[in-house]
Chains A and B, each alone.
Chain A
Amino acid sequence: MIEVRFHGRGGQGAVTAARLLVEAAFLEGKYGQAFPFFGAERRGAPIVAFARIDDKPIRTRTQVYEPSHVVVLDPTLLEVTNVAAGLKAGGIVVVNAKEAPTGLPAGRLAVVDATGIALETLGAPITNTAILGALARATKLVSLDSLVRAVGNYFGDKLAEKNIAAVRVAYERTKLL
């Protein structure tokens, strides 16, 4: 079972990111579970969301304590949160940043300027779909094609187009360090 933890701030779409990852895995015939850390979510507050993916039905319903991979939707979180807490050996940290942040293990780090890409494609700093492109590229948890289909299904026509663009651009521009 693969477990992914998403770190974001309220309004950046971390909960939706977890759900879209599961939707994409579901399209590939896998089982999944996406859920927020059940807090009092407010815009700007640090929040966490989780996704589980497996080949068989998922019964466990605890929070994720030892994630396989971590996704950081906002670079400012690196200063206030230990995003790598509990990360399993070999796990990848996918970070939204312009440049590679220090203090994270090299060799298992993926960096993408998701904010820049979101502004470019959506016109708003909602980084969830862009960062998913990076996650797909770095971890191969789901294929780009499944992710594009999941995003297409989830959003209405116009929004889908823009978000698919965000996914694709991020997939191309992700740097694996």
Chain B
Amino acid sequence: MKQVLTGNEAAAIAAKLARVKVISAYPITPQTAIVEKLAEFVANGELDAEFMKVESEHSAMSACIGAAAVGARAFTATSSQGLMLMSEMLYIAAGLRLPIVMANANRALSAPLNIWCDQQDSMAVRDSGWVQLYCEDNQEILDSILQAYRVAEELMLPVMVCFDGYILSHTAEPVDVPEQEEVDDFLPPYRPRHPLDPAMPVTMGPVGVPEYYQEIRYMLHEAVRAARDKIVEVDREYGKRFGRRYGLVECYRSDDAEIILLTLGSLSGTAKDLIDRSRKRGERVGLVRVRAYRPFPREVLVKALEHAKVVAVLEKDISLGWAGALFADVSCALANVEGAPLLMNFICGLGGRDVSPLQIREALRAAARAAEVGEVKRPVRWLGLREKLVGLGI
């Protein structure tokens, strides 16, 4: 049934539909409404789950690890500083191969303190072994969380479903909410292979001595890589059942495009509207949106981008002193590809700065100029920077 829901509400409803057994979380803006809603579901009996109130995000993830280890379907949600505090446990969850699903409402990192959206938080933990999916709208948040449990439990990997704080978390829009029975058919109960069980004791988290550690890391790496096929397989089945599919990347009017915008998350929607307007003027522009960021979908991306003249990567994060994370990754993916397109990077929307159509237009224009002259002089640029504010002694 269609309802008007915020992104946070969609995430909470998805966790409820997934019949999570343990929710452990610590409140942080802009995620808080997710776990508030889940606490309400547990309190009024709509959801049969243990809601664990903990003293920090570090403990929240620790509790999820324990819950998943004994075989309970675990869920948590966080943002920004909370994700940073959790980061030690993120690596452990992945290393122990525990299929925890987490919603991350993307928010900038301190300092300075900023509660608004950018994607620096989840980018900072992209190497933790978690699968990362980035959503464009509230429908995709709900669908991705349901898909995430299938991917997670079939590959024994944790999955982070990322969506832009406020821009999605606090925006209300129509979302199709599937029936519980349909979700139950799609998502069977979690059956761990080697749970912590006194009747069948196992050792979890032993020392990985130098003779074994590298192989254990290789196995984790291969599992995350295997998530590429698993995400596609689960998404295809989801599409058959619910009529919505997303894939690893979304290609929008990009087949014959000379200039392609490469995006992550909610700014893709604004950019698509702009692409439509540019197409009406006869400009050959398109958009490719990365949905699965880890594992990085190299093959499909190369195929989607290789015929373009210029690819402009728009992203709300930066690896300080270098470039945006997505830009660095796509550059790496296109290394050794003959006739690969020119690449440009546009850093935008940091700390809640609105990414306006005007800014995206500016990126398109710069990309068109690069396409004309056939070279990129300044690969990394900032959009919407108020240069007159930049002080001395930067």
Task: Decide: A40 and B115 in contact? CB cutoff 8 A.
Answer: yes
A19 touches which of B115, B168, B172, B273 (Cβ 8 Å): B172
A-B contact pairs, 10 of them (CB 8 A): A26-B2, A26-B4, A33-B171, A33-B172, A35-B166, A35-B172, A38-B167, A40-B115, A60-B270, A63-B356
Contact flags A9-44 to B (C-beta < 8 A → 1, else 0): 000000000110011001000011111101010000
Chain B residues closer than 8 Å to A40, beta-carbon distance: 115
Q: Closest CB of chain A to B245's CB: distance in Å?
A: 16
Residues of B whose CB lies within 8 Å of any CB of A are 2, 4, 115-117, 137, 166-168, 170-174, 266-270, 272-273, 352, 354-357
Provide the residues of chain A in CB contact with B174, threshold 8 Å: 26, 31-32
Contacts of A61 in B (CB 8 A): 167-168, 171, 266-267, 269-270
Q: Does more than half of chain A's interface fall in helix, strand or loop, or is it mixed?
A: mixed
CA distance A60 to B137 in the complex (A): 10
* A22 and B172 form a contact (CB under 8 A): yes
Interface size class of A (residues with CB under 8 A): 20 to 34
A63 touches B272 (CB 8 A): no
A35 with B4: CB separation less than 8 A? no
On A, residues with C-beta under 8 Å from B are: 18-19, 22-23, 26, 31-36, 38, 40, 58-63, 65
Given contacts A59-B273, A61-B267, A62-B356, contact A38 B172 (CB under 8 A): no
List, in ascending order, chain A residues with CB within 8 A of B171's CB.
Answer: 33-35, 61
> Contacts of B273 on A, CB cut-off 8 Å?
59-60
B273 → A minimal CB distance (Å): 5
Q: Which residues of A have CB within 8 Å of B170?
A: 35-36, 38
| Chain A residue contacts of B167, Cβ below 8 A | 35, 38, 61
Chain A residues with CB under 8 A of B355? 62
Measured between alpha carbons, how far is A60 from B355 in the docked complex, in Å? 10
A38 CA / B79 CA spacing, docked (Å) = 15
Whether the pair B269, A38 counts as a contact (CB closer than 8 A) is no
- CA separation between A65 and B357, bound complex, in Å? 11
A59→B173 contact, CB < 8 A: no
- The smallest beta-carbon distance between A31 and chain B, in angstroms, is 6
CB of B270 within 8 A of CB of A62, answer yes
- Report Cα–Cα, A104/B53, bound state, in Å: 51
Q: Other than A18-B172, A59-B270, A63-B356, give 9 A-B pairs with Cβ distance below 8 A.
A: A26-B2, A31-B174, A32-B172, A35-B172, A36-B166, A38-B352, A40-B115, A58-B269, A62-B357
The CA of A58 and the CA of B272, in the complex, are separated in Å by: 11
CB distance from A129 to the nearest CB of B (A): 16
Q: Quick one: which of B167, B174, B352 has the most chain A CB within 10 A?
A: B174
Rounded to whole angstroms, the CA-CA distance of A19 and B172 in the bound complex is: 7
Q: From B116, B137, B356, give the contact of A38 (CB < 8 A).
A: B116
